[in-house]
Amino acid sequence: MSFDGRDFLTKVTIQSAGTANPPLYMPQAQAFESLCALFSLTEKERALYETLMVRGPIRGRYLGMDAPEEAADTDQDRLIARFTKFARSTARAAAQQALDRAALSAADVDVLVVNTCTGYLCPGLTSYLVEDLGLRDNVHTLDVMGMGCGSAIPNMQAASGLLQWNDNQTALCVAVEMCTATLFMDPDPGVIVSNAIFGDGAAALVLQRGATRPGPAIVDVESLVQPEHREMLRYRTEQHRLRNVLSPRVPALGAEAAERVIDRLLQRHDLARDAVSHWIVHPGGTQVLSRFGKKLGLTAQALRHSYAVFEEYGNMSSPSVWFVWDRLLREDAPSPGAWGVMLSFGAGFSAFGTLIRF
């Protein structure tokens, strides 16, 4: 078996990770009280919010706003302005941390890929990060939009491809979401769940081709896109704003999609599931992680970093899986040669997997 898998890429390694959140942090109980004060809730709505926020597993979330009262703002112009302000600053902080950890400077970056689904800008966030980080004016940029919670892995895949051109050696990948810029009040249980669990954050990875120092290698990638399930998880525009659509079927769909992606990925390399020592799974929620674990025969211990990120931050959409990656590296120190699988899933319905060798 070749270490470089299908040999469709010159080996790309993950050199570092960085994470960041906006300054405003609210414990869930405090966020619940604020929500009740800002909005007129029915008894049924209040009860569900209380169950999810006060008695649920999330301890607190970071919010991309200056004050909790901004949650009641429904003006789309101000929402986009808020998204721009906090997405820009939070993405910059995560990216700078990743560069610092890799002992690299802005001048070393050849490729910049940024993904988001919670706010639209033209030019995209790459333009702002080129300015804020002081990147070269000939950096190759790509903005990835509309792929939801799963888009961090397509981000990595696109950056790895761009590294194969010319003399590109270093890519900076940034996933950033300001989910609170899409807060939408509605009695629908799916909307209530979204409002109760989604938080804000950014994460960044530094990828290198032909790196002089070792790092986990991206061996292979796999994807699954199921447009027949598009209405189960998506944003739609309503009242000129983004409104999340979240079906109760999502945990089951996520587990089934993940199994198909993982089996395809591992079978290409003649690997059994128990050959994988480290699982880096998008923390979409405790039900999602539980269904995923049962489907693949994984214990809560095997998914402990995903559970921990969800409890500490909530679901931050696309950056979440790289928060799990960062936690894994800081707490487990994987052995050289060990196999890992990074998995994300989201809107569409879609799922993405990456096979990694440490």
Q: Tens digits of per-residue pLDDT, 77-103? A: 999 999 999 999 999 999 999 999 999
Local confidence band at 9 (pLDDT 50, 70, 90 cut-offs):
low
Is the fold of 13-209 the same as that of 215-357? yes
pLDDT one-digit tens code per residue, 139-149: 999 999 999 99
Q: Residue 233 corresponds to which tokens in the numbers above?
A: 């998880």
CA distances from 246 to 54, 80, 94, 243 (A): 21, 22, 28, 10
pLDDT score, position 41:
95
Please tell me the predicted confidence (pLDDT) of residue 251. Answer: 87
pLDDT of residue 6: 45
pLDDT recorded at residue 333: 86
Pick from 66, 48, 47, 56: which is nearest to 27 by CA?
56
How far is 264 from 6, CA to CA, in rounded Å? 13
Position 217 pLDDT exceeds 50: yes
Confidence of residue 338 (pLDDT cuts 50, 70, 90): very high
Alpha-carbon distance of 298 to 107, in angstroms, equals 42
Q: What is the pLDDT of residue 2?
A: 37
Q: Give CA–CA dist 86/77, Å, rounded.
A: 15
What is the model's pLDDT at position 4?
Answer: 43
Q: Mean pLDDT, the chain, as a whole number?
A: 93
Measured distance CA(87)–CA(93) in Å, rounded: 10
- Model-level pTM? 0.95
Cβ neighbors of 171 (< 8 A, separation 6 or more) are 12, 109, 110, 111, 112, 113, 159, 160, 162, 163, 206, 207, 208
Contact at 8 Å (CB) between 119 and 178? yes
pLDDT of residue 46: 96
Considering the domain delimited by 215-357, tell me its CATH architecture: 3-Layer(aba) Sandwich (3.40)
Q: Which of 14-23, 238-247, 336-345 has the lowest mean pLDDT?
A: 238-247
Q: Report domain extents, the chain.
A: 13-209, 215-357
Say which CATH superfamily domain 13-209 falls into: Thiolase/Chalcone synthase (3.40.47.10)
Q: What is the number of alpha carbons within 13 Å of residue 133 lying toward its C-beta?
A: 33
